[in-house]
Amino acid sequence: MKSKIFTYINVSTQPRPDGSMAGTSVIVESGISVANWPGNAQSVALENYVALEDATLIQHLRNAGANLKGRTFMAELGLGLDRDTCGDAINSGLSDVALKTDTTGEARMAATASGCFGFKPSYGLISRFGLFSLIPSMESCGIISRSLETISKTIYTMAGLDERDPSMDKSGIDRAMSQFNHPKEFQDCPLTVGLVRELNSAMGHEGNKEFEQACEKLGKAGVQIKEVSIKDFSLARTSHNVIGTVEASSSAGRFDGVRYGHRTGTLVKNWNEMYIKSRGESFGPLVKAYLFQGGYFQYKNYNAFLDACRIRASLIETVEKAFETVDMIILPVSDKPCATTQKPDTVSDFYDVFSLTLLANLTGNPAISIPGPVNDGNTRSALQLIGQRVDDARLLALAARISDIYTGEMHHEI
């Protein structure tokens, strides 16, 4: 069983016996640096690479006494969920927490597939130093667990200012940490949830029906459902696609086969030929297609990239304005049955799977997936909640209330 879930098992672990994370086991995908662990991110480009140092968030977990158990399978360079087994590790009782990069919604989608909670923190709350990212401006370390309390504890441990990550939000971190210290403030307050007006045009009939039923159930339980408009909602996919591929094309330039990673074994005539052959052998079909698209927008259609950035700025502004009247925004995780088990063959197929989880990555807001209830042996669709920027503790506390209503299970203590 373990050989089908883990790519590496840490046999030398001796965690501190004290600390806030003592007794909590954590698995870490290979796109997050852990000193002296394999760090190939499931890509030929990084074959035989061994991490030289801990990511900042790993340092925080070690200091808090977390038990770092090993690495699970992941999609190449974290792009999607092909071969991903972090949810299997949680469901098999092999770990309490799984850490994986969330760039398009991977943590939330993987959690949905395994019936767990999946959380993407606010951008700038947790240091990205030590993450092998393709899309730096949209990437966060996602957390998967069966317990909201464990997710909250893990986020609080990993958060904090890091001078090695220039994207960190100092004032936001101070505000977020203050909220984590007073979570009960959000447990009994009135709750207003924003329903995106433009969502219907992006949904399939079956997914939309289940989502409407879920919102109706929340409304009957006293949650106020209020319609909000996010005018460029339908363009979030296009914006993420263009910006994401451009950033990925630039980021992947460091995988050159010169300083580390894969170098072709074919006899070559010169350095340039070695570089081209090494790169050609380093990536799978989906990643190659993603990088080629980015190269096109960088060098042949840069105006499309500028337009995508304008759309992103508009979405950030519109989403922020929506939080003037609602506590959170509610969306499905996916509009397609079994989307979490699909293996996309093209970039378009890839974005079909993640079309409803992209928004939070574009805007930097925290987001959480809540597993659906099981009725007659069938699991209902998962819900996705998006909170205000750096209000991560508040989102987790309110998500516990939403989960209690939606699943009918006992209260999740935060």
- Beta-strand (E) ranges in 73-223? 97-102, 117-120, 140-145, 192-196
Domain ranges of the chain: 2-230+328-339+365-407
**Closest to 75 in 3D by CA, of 254, 356, 342, 264:** 342
Are 110 and 144 in contact by the 8 Å Cβ rule? The answer is: yes
Domain formed by 2-230+328-339+365-407, architecture: Alpha-Beta Complex (3.90)
Are 391 and 373 in contact by the 8 Å Cβ rule? The answer is: no
State how far the Cα of 142 lies from the Cα of 357, in Å rounded to an integer. Answer: 13
State how far the Cα of 403 lies from the Cα of 33, in Å rounded to an integer. Answer: 33
Q: How many CB atoms sit inside 10 A of residue 183's CB?
A: 18
State how far the Cα of 314 lies from the Cα of 310, in Å rounded to an integer. Answer: 6
Burial, 171: exposed, middle or buried (Cβ in 10 Å; 0-12, 13-18, 19+)?
exposed
Question: SS3 of 215, please?
Answer: helix
Quote the radius of gyration of the chain (alpha carbons, Å). 21
- Count of residues in the chain: 414
Per-residue pLDDT of the chain (414 residues; tens, 9 = 90+): 577 899 999 988 778 888 999 999 999 999 999 999 999 999 999 999 999 999 999 999 999 999 999 999 999 999 999 999 999 999 999 999 999 999 999 999 999 999 999 999 999 999 999 998 899 999 999 999 999 999 999 999 999 999 999 999 888 898 888 888 876 667 778 899 999 999 987 676 566 788 999 999 999 999 999 999 999 999 999 999 999 999 999 999 888 888 888 988 888 888 888 888 888 899 999 999 999 999 999 999 999 999 999 999 999 999 999 999 999 999 999 886 555 556 788 999 999 999 999 999 999 999 999 998 865 444 568 999 999 999 999 999 999 999 999 988 765 566
**Closest to 293 in 3D by CA, of 284, 283, 301:** 301
State how far the Cα of 162 lies from the Cα of 210, in Å rounded to an integer. Answer: 42
What letter represents residue 348's amino acid?
S
Q: What is the pLDDT of residue 119?
A: 98
Are 263 and 273 in contact by the 8 Å Cβ rule? The answer is: no
Buried b (16+ CB within 10 A) or exposed e, 212-235: eebbeebeeeebeeeebebebbeb
State how far the Cα of 137 lies from the Cα of 123, in Å rounded to an integer. Answer: 8
Backbone angles phi, psi at 239, to 5 degrees: -60, -45
State how far the Cα of 156 lies from the Cα of 176, in Å rounded to an integer. Answer: 9
